[in-house]
Structure formats: C-alpha cells, structure tokens
Amino acid sequence: MSMQTRDRSTAGRWTEADVPDQSGRTAVITGGNSGIGFEAARVLATRGARLILGCRDRGKAHDAVTRIRAAATGADVRVVPLDLASLESVRAAAGQIRSTCERIDLVVNNAGVMMPPYGRTTDGFELQFGINHLGHFALTGLLIDRLAALPGARVVTVSSNNHRDGQINFDDLQSERGYRRMAGYSQSKLANLMFTYELQRRLHAAGTPAIAAAAHPGLTRTDLARYLSPVMTALYVLIERPLAQRAAIGALGTLRAATDPAVRGGDYYGPGRWRGERGYPVRVSSSERSHDEGAQRRLWQESERLTGVGYAI
C-alpha cells in the first residue's frame, strides 16, 4: 500500500495565493539563492516577511536578493554567509543572525547536496550527512531559543522521497567503510525527517508554542543533479527532467509547511499526485523507519556529540 496519504482537510489546490500575510515575521532560509529555496524566499518576501538568506556563494546570493526585490518592491532581505560544511561557519552565521534578530519566526532548512563523489566536510563528516543533516542540526540548535517561545514559530526541514530507501548506519555514519552516493543521500534525507520528529517531540515536551514540520519537493528541476554520473545525467535528461515540475511548484510543500495555519507539529507535506512526485502539496506520510523513536533519540544524541551543539529547550 502506498505510504502517500492525501490531505482531505483542504479542497482544491494549495498555491502561492494561499500563503497568508507574513508581515512582522522573520524567516531564515538556508540555500535561498536558487531552486526551491529561492522560490520559497520570493513568495515569503511578497507576503511581507523579513528574510535572512544563509548562503555559501555570495555572488549568487546577492543576485537572488536583486531578483527577490524585483518581485517584492521594498523587501527586507539580507544575506548571511553560511557554509554548512563547516561548523565554524555555522556558528559564525548563527552569531550574526542572533546579533540582529531578537525573534525568529521561521527557520527553513533547505540547502543540500545530492550524490557527490565521496568527500568530507571541514570537520570530517561525510559531505551529505554533514551538510544535509548535521549542519542544519547545528544551525537550528544555535537559533532555537530565538523562536521556541513564539506562537506560530516553525522549523521546516526539507527532506526527499529518497528517505524511503534510507537507513541510519550508526556503525558507520561517515561512510568510512564504504560509500555509495545514493545510500548516503537517502540516509541524510531520512535523518532530516527523524530530526524533525524528535525536535517536535522536544518542543511539545517543553510546552513551547513553536512546532517542527517537514516537506519534500517531489520530482523538481533544480541544480541538485549537478553531481550525477554521466550515465545517470543522460537518463535524467532523457527521462526524468521532462517530467519534473518547476521549482516554483516544488517549493509549495515548503511554503505550506511554513505558513499554512492548519499545519500541526510533525506534519510532512509533499506533492499529492504521481506517487508523490508531482502536483500541489498535501499532507503525506513518511516511511515506517522514520518513525522509530529509539533511532530518533540515538541520532539526536550522536548529532549533539558530533556538532557540540545542545538545544536550549
């Protein structure tokens, strides 16, 4: 039986037009300079949100700011240098954000890398696990006290349908005994969901009004495919890319998780058609493995140990 579950609470299509007014809200978005991160940032800006884009490439980031301001005249948007492959950079970025933001209403953990050749972050973590999960775990933990007490505040983490093939290899988290690109990516995307569920449980236990939710874009055209092998690239260009939806559509799951008043803690949103790969966002289910609470707690503990970041909740 398919794990995709259609959200029957909302009739019709959920689109950009359904994003409510965001005036007075501050949103931090990683990787907001391209793909679904940019599209989410653009829409939030048009609704009045103050934006902080955490980006590694300053040139691309400032180009994104120009485009966002063209779409939303007078938009309050700025860039904070952020390299999720460096805990030093993560700490510096969090420090800059904290120095200018007394409150943060939304953190969108969007940036990521998909199936690169084997490599390590500055701190020695396998690239996909280090960037996609540990970097975001650390950044969120360093900002959590700025949003935990705020009604309506959210942490939204972008996962993938590939999480269904993922396993958390606690005996070899950094793939030192063997590395397969897809397995590493799937592990990191499963970690994104397990982090979301454990964070939500901790926020709820602490009695805070903030929530954690997740989203995935389905099959969407972005630059994540840049590390595919020549054979996989050819297959992607011939088969998948023509079927992939625009980034503006892929970003709707993120936007719904981030702004829909009906979202509850622990909800997961993604496309509602074509086995969860295309269409407008609905509430969906994740794999049985992602709901293993023992594994969630163990991953959390390992993430704290590896990053040195604890959560003030």
pLDDT digits (tens), the chain, 313 positions:
233 334 433 446 999 999 999 999 999 999 999 999 999 999 999 999 999 999 999 999 999 999 999 999 999 999 999 999 999 999 999 999 999 999 999 999 999 999 999 999 999 999 999 999 999 999 999 999 999 999 999 999 999 999 999 999 999 999 999 999 999 999 999 999 999 999 999 999 999 999 999 999 998 766 655 555 565 555 544 445 557 789 999 999 999 999 999 999 999 999 998 777 889 999 999 999 999 999 999 999 999 999 999 999 8
Residue 7 lies in a domain: no
Q: Which of 299-306's residues contact partners 24+ apart within 8 Å by CB, and which partners?
A: 299/168, 299/170, 299/191, 299/194, 299/195, 299/198, 300/195, 300/198, 302/170, 302/173, 303/133, 303/134, 303/137, 303/195, 306/123, 306/125, 306/134, 306/173
Residue 167 lies in a domain: yes
Residue 5 lies in a domain: no
Instruction: Give the CA angle between residues 307, 62, 14 to the nearest 5°.
Output: 80
Counting the structural domains of the chain, the total is 1
- Per residue in 259-276, pLDDT tens? 999 999 999 999 998 777
Residue 309 lies in a domain: no
Q: Known catalytic residues?
A: 185
- Per residue in 47-59, pLDDT tens? 999 999 999 999 9
Sign of CA dihedral 230, 236, 238, 239: positive
For residues 241 and 269, give the distance between their C-alpha atoms in angstroms, rounded to a whole number: 22
Residue 117, both tokens: 């050749």
Do 113 and 223 form a contact (C-beta atoms < 8 A)? Answer: no
Nearest C-alpha neighbor of 189 from the set 249, 120, 141, 131: 131
Residue 187 lies in a domain: yes
The CATH number that applies at residue 194 is 3.40.50.720
- Determine the structural domain holding residue 131 and report its residue range: 20-303
Nearest C-alpha neighbor of 110 from the set 52, 44, 209, 31: 31
Residue 162 lies in a domain: yes
Do 252 and 14 form a contact (C-beta atoms < 8 A)? Answer: yes
Residue 8 lies in a domain: no
Residue 206 lies in a domain: yes
